[in-house]
Structure 1
Amino acid sequence: MDNSARELLKELMPSFPTRHCGKIYTDTTEFMDISYGDVISLEDRRFLVLRDEAERRFGMEDPKFWVKRCRDLDTGERHILKLVFHEKFDQKIGQLTINCFRSPRKESRILDLVRGDLRFMQGRTLLDDAGNPVRILDIVWGKSLDNIVEDLDMDHETYFQEKFPEILEKFMGACEALGFMHHHGEKHGDVRRDHIFVEYGSGHYRWIDFDYAYESVENPFGLDLFGLGSILLFITGKGVHDNVSLPSTRSGREFFNGLSPDDFSVLFPNRLINLKKLFPYIPRSLNHVLMHFSKGTYVTYESVDELLGDLAKASRDLAKG
């Protein structure tokens, strides 16, 4: 059987170079075989593969071969197709080990749950001929929160006074969105600062990537909450302050030598949590929230609502100056 995409592309996209026409795939199980010029056919939809997506972190690109940037051949719209890929890994929080894994069907459930809620990425799931749930995602045209903050060319105190209050307010809205997910029994699973996109034009904060799941014998939403703590730490500090960057100067070494292990993160032991020691103008109420994620804490947040209650007080204190 001829599975060439040449005739299909000649009809639906005659401008596409013939030499790059690939195959038509109705089974996406072997996603490594699917590349530029191939067509993925799902139910009544056909998508031309343009490239593999890549995640950009710490200045490096990490290719995601199971995630394809595509064009809908019938509408011309661009989408991201996430094919089925399973992986497992362990995440440690202090002495606790949490089993994490990818769950395409869990992401499909959440896409159904949040349909029409623009605090989240949007999409739907189609099955290929092998029964694989392929998620057809609308592209969120925007920039990740970490890049927004890192690109602000100003010192920390100016940032904290002029930009941070609005960023904190919008972050609290993102926390509320995550709370909505939790109230419906779902976890995000991979709460990171680059998984909040700030939409061009509207400035809305939108969560992306829901396919990680995890098993925990403690608080079922604990890993999501620690993720929120890490994002809060980043936006409060206008970046990460750790045991590498802090001692880079003589005054920094003196400051670093005056810290204790309890001043650092329980999730990332090299990251300073007690930012008030570094930036004395940070309100105590805000630093109090951060310290819930420190190695020295005796109390952790049990829910997004608890976190938001303390953040609301911190926000009021910021408004008072």
Structure 2
Amino acid sequence: MDKSALDILTQYLPSFPRKHAGKIITDTTEFMSIDYGDVMFLDNKHYLVTKNLSERRFGLEDPKYWVKRCRELETGNQQIIKLEFYEKFDVTIGSIQSSCYRSPRKESRILQLINNDMRFMQGRTVLDTKGNCVRILDIIYGTELDVVLDRLQISHEEYFHTVFPDFFAKYIGAVKAIEHLHTNQEQHGDIRRDHLLVESETKSWRWIDFDYTFGLRENPYALDIFGLGSILLLLVGQREITAQQLAAANSQATTSDNIKKEDMALAMPYRLANIQKKYPYIPDALNNVCMHFSAKNSVFYSSVTEFVTALLTCFHKLPVFTAARGRYPEV
């Protein structure tokens, strides 16, 4: 290829500042060196790098230098491009221990599996000149689920009786999407509140980021199920209910002084799982599902299918659903 990045940018984006024109990239192995103004040439298309992406971790921005926000110069479309990056770490939840791996090729398999399934992010995989697995993803314009919940300026009781039933139906749909992956012997691998986006235009709930995999021989999907449980606790409680919040509420009229260690979440001991102790109007059936993810529980859901069955039973027993049957989408 004889053209420089400046030549390409002059052709497709003449307004781009000449001084920021970088280099043409065909080998993405050294992703740390790929930055703003560089042009990646992949599968006969040119992608201008505009920024490195990051994600929220414990309130901080965690840079992901292998994930680039790009503009496809031929079309002007905005894309996210994930470059090949590997890492490994260990996780422990109660008695469950597992090694987790980042696997670009696993994410590529899932992108093929869920093509045109709008419950998930969409994209395709191409190989660079060195055979690196590059995923070119469509951008979902939306908001992370926890941010959506945090923006609701209403009491929990009002939330539970007005907003929650619709959100619960959409959550069950999202859980069924994960069931689809498991039925095809694939894990999501990194189920978290910020990996479930509420799309702005459609209000659809969509999963992103599938490149983690973990090795559990007894139940290869256990960590996905715990991730779903963590999101359920967030959804039922409207937000994360922490031990610190409960301690601060002790001086008020509350049952928080009766909360014990076994009422907290197994995966995150600082979070309340027995939500009925803070909000007594939570139905027993729903609270029982939440308690499956508590430190007290010793019998966990063996599959997402079993979990879906329990969720559906709770959904159809919600008082607001019983009073206005048919108001909410089919789940």
TM value normalised by structure 2: 0.94
CA RMSD of aligned residues (A): 1.5
SS of 1:218's equivalent in the other structure is: coil
- AA paired with 2:237? G
Superposed CA deviations along residues 99-157 of structure 1, whole A, max 9, x for unmatched, are: 00100000000000000110100000010111101000000111111111110000100
Counterpart for residue 47 of structure 1: 47
Equivalents in 2 of 1:188, 1:253: separation in Å? 41
Equivalents in 2 of 1:127, 1:108: separation in Å? 11
Equivalents in 2 of 1:12, 1:289: separation in Å? 55
Superposed CA deviations along residues 234-286 of structure 1, whole A, max 9, x for unmatched, are: 01001111112211244369744422221111111111100011100000010
Counterpart for residue 24 of structure 1: 24
Counterpart for residue 307 of structure 2: 307
Structure 1: gaps (5+ residues): none
Matched, 1:34 2:34: yes
Counterpart for residue 230 of structure 2: 230
Equivalents in 1 of 2:250, 2:112: separation in Å? 54
Counterpart for residue 241 of structure 2: 241
Distance apart, 1:59 and its partner CA: 2.9
Equivalents in 2 of 1:163, 1:118: separation in Å? 23
Counterpart for residue 149 of structure 2: 149
Q: Give runs of ≥4 in structure 1 deviating > 6 Å.
A: none
Equivalents in 2 of 1:41, 1:252: separation in Å? 62
Counterpart for residue 131 of structure 1: 131
Q: For the Cα contact (< 8 Å) 1:247–1:253, is it kept in 2? A: no
TM value normalised by structure 1: 0.97
CA 1:254–1:162 in structure 2 vs 1: closer, same or farther (change >3 Å)? closer
Equivalents in 2 of 1:30, 1:245: separation in Å? 45
SS of 2:90's equivalent in the other structure is: strand
- AA paired with 2:322? K
Equivalents in 2 of 1:81, 1:298: separation in Å? 42
Equivalents in 2 of 1:227, 1:137: separation in Å? 23
Equivalents in 2 of 1:303, 1:96: separation in Å? 15
Distance apart, 1:43 and its partner CA: 2.2
Distance apart, 1:298 and its partner CA: 2.3
Counterpart for residue 105 of structure 1: 105
Equivalents in 2 of 1:60, 1:92: separation in Å? 23
SS of 2:157's equivalent in the other structure is: helix
Equivalents in 2 of 1:115, 1:249: separation in Å? 47
Matched, 1:93 2:93: yes
Equivalents in 2 of 1:253, 1:98: separation in Å? 42
Q: For the Cα contact (< 8 Å) 1:275–1:282, is it kept in 2? A: yes
Q: Percent identity?
A: 49
Equivalents in 1 of 2:130, 2:41: separation in Å? 12
Structure 2: gaps (5+ residues): 324-331
Distance apart, 1:91 and its partner CA: 1.1
CA 1:247–1:293 in structure 2 vs 1: closer, same or farther (change >3 Å)? same
Counterpart for residue 65 of structure 1: 65
SS of 2:63's equivalent in the other structure is: strand
Q: For the Cα contact (< 8 Å) 1:3–1:23, is it kept in 2? A: no
Counterpart for residue 122 of structure 1: 122
Equivalents in 2 of 1:20, 1:136: separation in Å? 23
Q: For the Cα contact (< 8 Å) 1:78–1:139, is it kept in 2? A: yes
